[in-house]
Structure 1
Amino acid sequence: MLNKEIVLVFKKFINDSCDAEEQDRVFSYLQNGEFLDEWNRAISEEADKSIDVNVLSALSSQHKDELENKILKKISKRSIPYWIRYSAAAIVLLALGISLSTFEKDQPTQEPAETLAANVEPGRNVASLTLADGTVINLDDKGAGKLSTQGNVSIIKKGDGEIVYQPIDDVKPVTANNSLATPRGGQYQITLPDGTHAWLNSASSIEYPTSFGPKERRVRIKGEVYFEVSHNKNKPFIAETDGQEIQVLGTHFNVNAYKDEGAIKTTLLEGSVKIAISSTKSLVLKPGQQSSVMPGRDQINVKRVDTEAATGWKNGDIHFNSADLKGVLRQLARWYDVDVDMTRVPAVKINGVISRNVSLAVVLKAIEATSDVHLAIENKPNGEGRRIIMK
């Protein structure tokens, strides 16, 4: 159970309102790795607070820079673990980044790199649904309510960002394939006819029948999808990707099968899953484990991972747990719908966590705050979109 008093002290530290005794307590806790759950809760709740834009926008650019540098130096003075310094810095940058994106975007000057990044907004709930007859429905154009009927199911849009397949009683099942796809800069949720819930990350897709057969529930995915599978011991759920199959009865797991990531990574949160890459090569994952499969290789590697980091995207976070910078930039490219020039990107690891609901400028500043990496964003030479570059 969280210690609410400690959470409160951490919040005061984040807001620069600690007295000397409280500040010493905070540094002691963080140096010793104590109360990390309380620290994460304080960070999360402070990040969710609304920002008084009128107050922040009254600051000149010089004052903003001075404020940012002052707080970052304060955090960096003490020997606090690297990822904790990052988290505290991210809170400051969150406020400053929002003020910049709201206050400076309307200025009629030539856009410098910082303003370009501030104007790159995060992804949103956008996807397209393809029906059995080839009809494509752009879901962000539709309001809540019934979208279509496919065989014995009604397709319902529930508010923003989710569709549900609801079986119709006393109607004979008709098997027809539908698919849901998100673009770069998009995400969406779907409840399948069996009650299984799936979350699609950016540049992802899932193909599925409108009615599952009597022996199995089979879907095919690309990109990254998180599943909470409805339990049915008599009808296994099978998620198919290029190069592997994941077989389950009822469980929670995440699949990352982006082609530019190389390996297909399956992370298990609850229950058990069977990873099969051929008729003779398979293994069963336990909760907390992640399998890695390289397409074309007859090998499955398994390791224990931080499942919260692997599935943070579903909850609106980007986790950098000793993450390769190039991999992080690929994530940002998909979510913010930008390109990345990898030619000068160093082979370094970064740590931390930040919300996916902030502008790209905030994320780039947060990465720079606790590393020697300096990033910028520029218009592409052909004028078609933007790209992240090394300064």
Structure 2
Amino acid sequence: MQANERITYLVENYLNKTISKEEYKELSDWIVQADFQEVETLFEAEIHKQDNWYNDSVAFGGEANVLKEIQNKITQSERKVFAYKRWAYYGAAASILIFTLMLFKPWQKTDLVSSDQVNDKVVSVDDKGDDIDILADAGGHLSFTDGEIVTISKQQKAFIDCDGVRYQFLADGGVRLQPLDTASPHQAKHTFFTNRGDKANIILADGTSVWLSSASSLVYPTTFADDKRMVEVHGEAFFDVSHNPNKPFVVKSNDTEIEVLGTQFNMRAYPEVDFSETTLVSGSVRVRSKNSQRKIVPGQQATVNKKGEVAVVTANLQDVLSWQSDVYRFSNLTIEEILTELGRWYAIEGIDNRSTLQERYTGVLSKGKQLSGILRQLETISTHRFIIQERRIVIMN
């Protein structure tokens, strides 16, 4: 049997739920190595032959073309934030397909579920019936030098003026700074921040665009009058820096500095974590700590630990940037680490880990309205069980 015929045979067995463990592994290995277009074309052809497969096995929607539906969901959600390069869409869709294969193992008689479908016999909720909801995205907030706090989503005006700059409120929920002609050379410092569950965008006076993730803040001058454009980040942010070779852009966080001229990168430095991560999408940046400095190229990630040591590795850009979409991607994490990350988006008030297992997982989860749907998915692929008690998660073996 030729290679193409063999893969077609495996896909048919998968869709018919007759695939063996050995065949399942062979198909999964091929998906990881193959070009996405080849995977998409083959699955489309076979799914069109078996329209009943979609309705019987997958809870993503009502169309027969599962790959295209998955890709559309990723594309639509990510376009709300900013335009990824096209390959990122394909990679995300392919990864969800791989995770779908992880969830659906015919020999275990396990059906696929969406994140909002809950089996109460598996995920236990306390007697009050309190599930844990996803936090509402309220957007960004501004804090001025006089202590005033402005919630952007509640603004009825088109703009407000403060400290020599105009904040223009955009239709997509973002905000843009525009220096006024009356601006003084004095640099006031303002803060743009998000609460848990929020994402928000600000365009600074130089045209640099910054997206803040959940529970993050950006401190910046109202104008960049010095020889460097200096800002400070706590939490996680994605930067699309306006190019200016005469005035480098510098991001500070704790004891780390990132210096760029014009580039796209993601910085993650939450105060409760004892390291920071800088991941470069395009351009080049130099990462400096108190003890070391390294220059990284696109696709690399620099991690700075509490000792000031800098380590550089190849990054998974889709995982790093997934916070901007409606999916959560993770690689080689324990269940507790996964839930800790989800706590930035769901109203989790604590985690009680009673499990002795330290297994690690890689996959993609859609962010449903309630956490129990995600826990149901995690139970499907792991040996853990979960109990929800008064917004706390108990992890059991």
Query: Hey, what does 1:340 align to over in structure 2?
Result: 350
In the alignment, does 2:318 pair up with 1:292? no
Cα shift readout 1:85-134 (whole Å, capped 9, x = no counterpart): 2466999422xx43669xx9xxxxx96489533x5124413332101221
Query: Hey, what does 1:264 align to over in structure 2?
Result: 276
2:342 alignment partner AA: L
Question: What's the offset of the Cα at 1:173?
Answer: 4.8
Gaps of 5+ in 2: 1-7, 41-65, 77-96
What does residue range 23-34 of structure 1 map to in structure 2 within 5 Å?
Answer: 30-33=28-31, 34=34
Cα shift readout 1:43-98 (whole Å, capped 9, x = no counterpart): 63475799xxxxxxxxxxxxxxxxxxxxxxxxxxxxxx97442466999422xx43
Give RMSD over aligned pairs.
3.6
Query: Hey, what does 1:202 align to over in structure 2?
Result: 214
Q: Counterpart of 2:337 in 1: which secondary structure? A: helix
Q: Counterpart of 1:361 in 2: which secondary structure? A: helix
Q: Counterpart of 1:369 in 2: which secondary structure? A: helix
In the alignment, does 2:374 pair up with 1:363? yes
Question: What's the offset of the Cα at 1:257?
Answer: 0.6
Q: 1:98 aligns with which of 81, 99, 116?
A: 116
Distance 1:111 1:390, change over 3 A: closer
1:229 & 1:238 partners in 2: Cα distance? 10
What percent of counterpart residues are identical? Answer: 25
Cα shift readout 1:221-257 (whole Å, capped 9, x = no counterpart): 1011111111111111111001211111111111111
Distance 1:190 1:26, change over 3 A: farther
Query: Hey, what does 2:58 align to over in structure 1?
Result: none
Distance 1:153 1:322, change over 3 A: same
Q: 2:260 aligns with which of 239, 243, 248?
A: 248
1:195 & 1:270 partners in 2: Cα distance? 17
1:275 & 1:287 partners in 2: Cα distance? 13
Q: 1:138 aligns with which of 116, 135, 151?
A: 151
Q: 1:219 aligns with which of 203, 224, 231?
A: 231
1:390 alignment partner AA: I
In the alignment, does 2:161 pair up with 1:149? yes
Please report the TM-score for the alignment, with normalisation by the length of structure 1: 0.73
What does residue range 48-197 of structure 1 map to in structure 2 within 5 Å?
Answer: 83-86=99-102, 92-94=112-114, 97-98=115-116, 112=126, 116-117=130-131, 120-143=133-156, 145-146=158-159, 148-169=160-181, 171-197=183-209
Question: What's the offset of the Cα at 1:135?
Answer: 0.8
Question: What's the offset of the Cα at 1:371?
Answer: 1.3
Gaps of 5+ in 1: 1-8, 51-80, 105-109, 380-385
1:27 & 1:35 partners in 2: Cα distance? 18
1:154 alignment partner AA: R
Check whether the contact 1:152–1:173 (CA below 8 A) recurs between aligned residues. Answer: no
Check whether the contact 2:28–2:101 (CA below 8 A) recurs between aligned residues. Answer: no
Distance 1:26 1:185, change over 3 A: same
2:301 & 2:74 partners in 1: Cα distance? 30
Query: Hey, what does 1:3 align to over in structure 2?
Result: none
Query: Hey, what does 2:320 align to over in structure 1?
Result: 310
Distance 1:45 1:365, change over 3 A: same
Check whether the contact 1:152–1:168 (CA below 8 A) recurs between aligned residues. Answer: yes
Check whether the contact 2:185–2:225 (CA below 8 A) recurs between aligned residues. Answer: no
Check whether the contact 2:103–2:381 (CA below 8 A) recurs between aligned residues. Answer: no
Q: Counterpart of 2:130 in 1: which secondary structure? A: helix
1:273 & 1:299 partners in 2: Cα distance? 17
Please report the TM-score for the alignment, with normalisation by the length of structure 2: 0.72
Question: What's the offset of the Cα at 1:200?
Answer: 1.0
Cα shift readout 1:266-318 (whole Å, capped 9, x = no counterpart): 1111111111112x6211011111111112x1311111121111111023321
Check whether the contact 2:300–2:312 (CA below 8 A) recurs between aligned residues. Answer: yes
Check whether the contact 1:125–1:161 (CA below 8 A) recurs between aligned residues. Answer: no
> Which deviates more from structure 2 when the two are superposed, residues 253-262 or residues 209-218?
253-262
Distance 1:88 1:260, change over 3 A: farther
Q: Counterpart of 1:121 in 2: which secondary structure? A: coil
Query: Hey, what does 1:58 align to over in structure 2?
Result: none
Cα shift readout 1:331-388 (whole Å, capped 9, x = no counterpart): 1112113123244254221111123354312221222221112223210xxxxxx122
Distance 1:210 1:262, change over 3 A: same
2:127 & 2:30 partners in 1: Cα distance? 39
Query: Hey, what does 1:72 align to over in structure 2?
Result: none
Question: What's the offset of the Cα at 1:212?
Answer: 0.9
Question: What's the offset of the Cα at 1:260?
Answer: 2.6
In the alignment, does 2:332 pair up with 1:322? yes
> Which deviates more from structure 2 when the two are superposed, residues 120-129 or residues 183-192?
120-129
Check whether the contact 2:326–2:366 (CA below 8 A) recurs between aligned residues. Answer: yes
